[in-house]
A = this chain, B = another copy of it.
Amino acid sequence: MTRVAFADAIDEVVAERMASDPRIVIFGEDIQLIRRNLYARFGARRVRNAPISEAAFLGAAVGAAMAGLRPVVEIMMADFLTVAVDALANHAAKLETFSGGTWRAPLVVRVACGGGYGDAGQHEQSLWGWLAHIPGLAVVVPSNPADAAGLMRMALDHDGPIIFMEHKLLSEIWLESLGRGGRTTVAFDVPAAGARAERLPREWIPPGTAAVLRAGTDLTLVSLGVGVHRALEAAEELERQGVSAGVIDLRSVSPLDMECLREHVARTGRVVVIDEDYLGFGLSGEIAARLLESGIRPRFARVATDGTIPYARHLEIEALPNTARILDACHQLLET
């Protein structure tokens, strides 16, 4: 049996749902070639090429969702959301409250995110914490094809706006076009278990449910997306060093599965958040605050992207959370 690639896993779920639900329409720049398999099956009306006008077509996606469609709108990269975020932050996110609960915009925003292939900081941002700051937006970040399928299933049933983020190191079509470009002379640290899967589950993943990938008694590593694989690597190394580290894959940034986090962190008393989004005023802080709020006062460290992501590969590797940095953080935490 062939193994299923990350983006194909998502496309399959989308196709399956498009087949039964005529309300699902897809659009985005270059989408007819990027999602060519969907295009070949569903045609130009339901897989629409958009002009380079993110503000217009993301805004239109919100309007379309309000008027009965279920758009899956693609913004090529999270970085480009900056030119269109009004549609999400001031419109999609606020509709339910402003309308007194009478109107919602069921909208999936599919976005490539993340770095690790040398494209620099205007093309490698993650921004999930930035998006989750806005009340009313759901944000999910799968770390493997099975979860990607399960989360897309959930997203297509979600009754409000949800951002579905696809890490470029996991999504072959993006990595190929942006990083490799047909070359055999470049290498990327692609987590094999993240990029391909043996088979896909038929279930959805309920909103805000993390996955416990590894139990651990000494400390808890919390991450999402590619960071999960770096965390797993670190945990294996720690095991060799006699330290038992658990690994939690958040999968969903908003809502956050605090129950899961509390349970594990309460046990280990030590937590390291590994976040490819920016360090400050984001996900890692939120986890700290919620733990403290629930009376858990752990030893805490975080490994995140601190500053603009630089271009050169050796600088980029240092800027993004990597296994060495995670191990450092763990060791420091274990000493205290």
Contacts and interface: CB of A to CB of B under 8 A. Distances in A.
A332 to B, nearest CB: 10
A283 B55 CA distance: 27
A230 interface: no
A135 interface: yes
A134 B282 CA distance: 10
A285 B288 CA distance: 6
Given A282-B281, A285-B281, A297 B297 contact: yes
3 cross-chain pairs, A with B, having the tightest CB-CB distances, nearest first:
A285-B285, A292-B300, A97-B308
A121 interface: yes
Identical copies in the complex: 2
B133 A121 contact: no
Contacts of A254: 280-281
A42 B183 CA distance: 58
A70 interface: no
Interface in A293-336: 293, 295, 297-302, 306-308, 310-311, 336
Contacts of A253: 281
27 contacts: A55-B83, A82-B86, A93-B308, A94-B122, A94-B308, A98-B122, A98-B308, A129-B133, A130-B130, A130-B281, A132-B281, A133-B133, A135-B280, A254-B280, A281-B282, A281-B283, A281-B285, A281-B286, A285-B288, A285-B289, A287-B289, A288-B289, A289-B289, A289-B300, A292-B297, A292-B300, A297-B299
A284 interface: yes
A298 B295 CA distance: 9
Contacts of A311: 98
